């Protein structure tokens, strides 16, 4: 909601309300104006292999690689100023997430700050409101880190139905090289065939990234 000064009205919310309105699978976090974690739900804590108590007071740099932490801090700035809700897409924990950031009413948690939700955003999800939102360039590959950069480059077109020959022509490699990389992808991800590769990619929402976006993400991620 817009206020008289052209910004937006900060969200007034409590842990009990968050627990009630946030759907399963969605991570919710409250950070203060110094980006220290004030509160999070169990989903977020589990994603980090931790607990709410252990994460309380942590900074972005405590739980994210430097490039990710710095970029997220920049993305949060309009919400921290109270100018607008911030929306962006990110590669997080090896999956595609829609992240939304609201200014927080200081009365809610006793501090100014932001309320953040991270929702898995699968390939088939469509919402015109989010067609043109930015993509965080520094992603988190998680278990995809087992793949080499070259194998990650092959994974995306492979899951989109391109043959080894088509991928080789597009990426300037020999067919035999691409075939070896496909075999390596199967072995590292414990997949048996293309259908399983497609399912793996779709279940993580990675189909939703264009080839150009995917190339940018894997060139910067986890640095």
**What is the rounded CA–CA span in Å between residue 14 and residue 179?**
53
Quick one: pLDDT at residue 222?
Answer: 57
Phi–psi pair at 49, nearest 5 degrees: 60, 35
Contacts within 8 Å (CB) and 24+ apart, 96-99: 96/120, 96/121, 96/122, 96/123, 96/204, 96/205, 96/206, 96/208, 96/209, 97/121, 97/205, 98/125, 98/130, 99/136
Quick one: pLDDT at residue 4?
Answer: 40
Quick one: pLDDT at residue 131?
Answer: 64
Residues 6+ apart with CB under 8 A from 22: 28, 41, 43, 117
Domains of the chain by range and CATH?
Answer: 15-130 (3.30.450.20), 142-220 (1.10.10.10)
Model pLDDT for residues 104-140, shown as the tens digit of each residue: 998 889 899 999 999 998 755 555 566 678 899 888 8
Residues 6+ apart with CB under 8 A from 212: none
Q: Please, are residues 155 and 167 in contact by the beta-carbon 8 Å criterion?
A: no
Q: Please, are residues 186 and 192 in contact by the beta-carbon 8 Å criterion?
A: yes
Tokens of 138: 């520094």
Residues (pLDDT < 70) of the chain are 1-7, 123-131, 221-223
Residue 42: name the closest of 53, 52, 29 by CA: 52
At residue 66, the 3 state secondary structure works out as: helix
Q: Please, are residues 135 and 56 in contact by the beta-carbon 8 Å criterion?
A: no
**What is the rounded CA–CA span in Å between residue 6 and residue 56?**
33
The pTM for the full model equals 0.85
**What is the rounded CA–CA span in Å between residue 210 and residue 135?**
11
Q: DSSP state, 147? A: S
């Amino acid at each position: 909601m817009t206020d008289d000064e052209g910004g937006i009205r900060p969200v007034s919310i409590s842990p009990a309300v968050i627990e009630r309105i946030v759907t399963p699978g969605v991570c919710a976090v409250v950070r203060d104006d110094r980006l220290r974690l004030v509160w999070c739900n169990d989903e977020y804590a589990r994603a980090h292999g931790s607990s709410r108590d252990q994460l309380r007071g942590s900074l972005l740099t405590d739980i994210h690689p430097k490039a990710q932490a710095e970029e997220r801090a920049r993305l949060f700035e309009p919400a921290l100023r109270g100018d607008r809700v911030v929306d962006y897409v990110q590669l997080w924990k090896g999956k595609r997430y829609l992240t939304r950031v609201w200014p927080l009413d200081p009365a809610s948690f006793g501090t100014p700050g932001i309320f953040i939700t991270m929702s898995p955003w699968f390939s088939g999800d469509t919402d015109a409101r989010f067609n043109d939102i930015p993509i965080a360039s520094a992603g988190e590959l998680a278990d995809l880190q087992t793949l080499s950069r070259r194998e990650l480059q092959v994974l995306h077109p492979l899951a989109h139905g391109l043959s080894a020959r088509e991928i080789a022509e597009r990426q300037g490699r020999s067919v035999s090289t691409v075939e070896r990389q496909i075999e390596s992808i199967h072995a590292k991800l414990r997949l048996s065939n293309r259908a399983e590769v497609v399912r793996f990619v779709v279940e993580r929402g990675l189909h939703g990234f264009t080839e150009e976006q995917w190339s940018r993400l894997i060139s910067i991620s986890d640095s």
